[in-house]
Amino acid sequence: MTTLADDPSVVQRLFDHIDRKTTDTSEASWREPVENYLSQERFAAELEVLRRTPTPFCASAALPESGAYVARAAAGTPILAARGSDGQVRAFRNACRHRGTELASGSGCTKAFVCRYHGWTYGLDGRLRHVPDEHGFPGLDKSARGLVPLAPVERQGVVFVTQQGLAPDPSLDELPPLIAPSLRLLGTNEREVPANWKILVEGFLEGYHIRWTHPQTFYPVQFDNLNVVESFGRNSRIAFPYKAIHRLRALPPAERTADGKLTYVYHLFPNVMVATFPQFVFLVVLEPVALDRTRFITSVLTDRPEHDGEAEAASKRGADLVGAGGAEDNEVACAIQRSLASGANEFFEFGRFEGAIAHFHRTLDAALGASRSS
């Protein structure tokens, strides 16, 4: 896995681009067939890739204490993740072993999961603890009827879940810092966007659109088509500098930091982004719901103290700006989705400024090929 550059190196690369009026470019462009956004067969295969891949499920900060849980669907599978009394995160298929009722929804904190249908009760470790009127189930072996486990791993402030196969993925041990332990969860919101999940992924992975899509939001404070693009394994990191980065020119190179001067967008393959902003970090899960629908799940984290009026006001201004820019991106994604069946394009042309998108599609193609051959 490639080691990412440190902040001073990224800042210097950005200064070089600013001075030369250049940006990072890939060796070649990439042509992605439009059919790959329209094929139900391919969509089903992509869901299988998501199930086979260690995929970010939530931030560790969403499970801050024993009994904290998050329940949602991932790649079409209802999943329940909870932190046990031993501090470990466990994940299960969110279904009672009696009649299959989902045991939890959303997030919260509990000492046990009690089925609302018949009261079967499971511990935080997934074990079946209690069955009302157990004598009505002769031969029931409670030790064999616990919740069906999945394979969660916590790394760099993120909980990853693998749905198929329980062997740990060693590449997760090589991830860069993502969400610092000092960050707390401000909140999570969900909305459904009527667009294919890959179109939404693509919108995060290039700055070629900044001037045209975000003329009143990001463009006044950022540069158009000026990025540092790095890949690490299946993943990517794109640096989006702010115009305020010029203030770092007066500092010795070793003292230059990204804080408040650029946004890093980490694309965690296949469908998750971690984006850094002044005062907060976003974890964005682009959850495929259907061929033309995606659940957009956004968690906001901060290290600002609670009940700090000035910090809260600044965070709200930043969140409002990011929210407005995100709405603009979603509008474009929906416009692309509406045009897919027009027959105008046989393929989409991702140019040399859009190398992170090419890396995403190349990696997805490889994962699809591995799934077919296994």
What CATH fold (topology level) applies to the domain 56-168?
Rieske Iron-sulfur Protein (2.102.10)
Beta bridge partners of 264: 239
How many helical (H) and strand (E) elements, i.e. helices and strands, does the chain have? Answer: 7, 19
**349-366: pLDDT as tens digits:** 999 999 999 999 999 999
What is the C-alpha separation between 307 and 244, in angstroms, rounded? 28
Q: Is 333 exposed, middle or buried (0-12, 13-18, 19+ CB in 10 A)?
A: buried
Contact status, residue 33 vs residue 196, Cβ threshold 8 Å? no
Task: Please provide the average confidence, as pLDDT, over all residues in the chain.
Answer: 94
Q: What is the dihedral of CA 316, 74, 148, 88, to 10 degrees?
A: -30
In degrees, rounded to 5, the angle at the alpha carbon of residue 9 between the alpha carbons of residues 8 and 14 is 95
Q: How far apart (Å, rounded) are the C-alpha atoms in residues 222 and 322?
A: 12
Cα 256 to Cα 210, 226, 372: the distances in Å are: 25, 18, 46
Per the CB < 8 A criterion, the answer to whether 105 and 138 are in contact is: no
CA 235 to chain centroid: 11
Tokens of 15: 């200064």
Q: Which DSSP helix (H) or strand (E) runs through 332?
A: helix 309-339
**Beta partners for residue 92, in sequence order:** 80, 149
- Whole-number pLDDT of residue 2: 72
In a 3-state reduction of DSSP, which class is residue 126?
coil
DSSP 242: B
Percentage with pLDDT > 70 across the chain: 95
Residue 250 CB partners (closer than 8 Å, separation 6+) = none
Helix (H) or strand (E) holding 57: strand 55-59
Written as six digits, the tokens of 102 are 């989902």
pLDDT tens track for 162-204 = 998 766 688 899 999 999 999 999 999 999 999 999 999 999 9
Of the listed ranges 24-28, 45-49, 294-298, 312-316, the one predicted with least confidence: 312-316
We find that the CATH architecture of domain 7-53+182-373 is Alpha-Beta Complex (3.90)
Look at residue 23 and tell me whether its pLDDT is greater than 60. yes
Domain coordinates of the chain in residue numbers? 7-53+182-373, 56-168
> pLDDT tens digits for 312-333?
666 666 678 788 999 999 999 9
**217 neighbors 328 (Cβ within 8 angstroms):** yes
Task: Report whether 294 contacts 179 (CB < 8 A).
Answer: no
Q: Which of 196, 165, 193, 200 is nearest to 48 (CA)?
A: 165
